[in-house]
Amino acid sequence: MILTVTLNTALDITYRVPGLRPHASHRVTEVTERPGGKGLNVARVLAALGHPVTVTGFAGGSTGATVRASLAGVPGVVDALVPVAGATRRTVAVVDERTGDTTQLNEPGPVVAPAEWNAFQEAYEGLLAGAAAVALCGSLPPGVPVGAYAGLVRTARAAGVPVLLDTSGEPLRRGVAARPDLIKPNADELAELTGSHEPLRATQAARRRGARSVVASLGAAGLLAETPEGRWRAAPPTQVRGNPTGAGDSAVAGLLSGLVEHLPWPDRLARAVALSAATVLSPVAGEFERAAYEELLGRGVAVTAEADAA
């Protein structure tokens, strides 16, 4: 079982409009709702790849009930979310059908009480006993300590469970110091963490700060990996256009599935890039176009070894 943690779960709502214009009314052509938050997106992709997944984090209010009801219909995903008094947040993505661009609106999430945070930590420690790997994903809701991920990383390491951390800002900075097995920042998050805007130097700096391995998401340019086994760049054979929401989460699913399957790094990166690109072609986060994924893998994701930064 792979465990994904989404402390700030959400109900993802996607609106599609013919063209998005400021200060104007819009006729919505399509609406979709899905359980959201980075870890839930990761879980759905992992389940689609055939890996049993347990999801945990917080859920509350009528929105949380909707999230849990939707999760019940996802084969291969077990719901171990911890209830809170506050209401689970909503996120709204507005897709401009003319340009393909997406505008994202994210609510902050419920205020988590100290007793609720303690209950989660107890549940998390119990779930680790059956986990082959764990992913800690996304933002922290109000009330959760800024060093929360650092503590969760240490708990996983003490249990002997490989841990991937995918967050940003101060929670990432503190979490890296706890020595996770892998972090997956995007270029901006990596630059904020290390102070370097040169990706190769920045990934090396992130490893010096404590991460065992670093895989940086560089958007359309693919992934850059800095690991004890080597350094690689991985890029899709062709550029794709669509909705990028959730593409990074699919990359995390590819990396995690490759980890538990003991694939070599180049194969993990090729899978992650193919999943990420196939997610851009999907209308909603947490899903990917399977035919596109298989075609991208079949055509060959370019994975090349990298030398040290000068």
Residues belonging to the chain: 310
Give the span between the Cα atoms of 198 and 155, in whole angstroms: 32
249 included as an active-site residue = yes
DSSP structural state of residue 220: G
Asked if 60 and 86 count as a contact pair (C-beta separation under 8 A), the reply is yes
Phi-psi label, residue 222: left if phi above 0, alpha if psi -120 to 50, beta otherwise: left
Residue with token string 């992913």:
135
In DSSP terms, 121 is beta-bridged to: none
- The residues near 60 (Cβ < 8 Å, ≥ 6 apart) are 83, 84, 85, 86, 87, 88, 110
Of the listed 79, 96, 249, 267, which one is catalytic? 249
Give the span between the Cα atoms of 250 and 45, in whole angstroms: 6
Catalytically annotated residues: 249
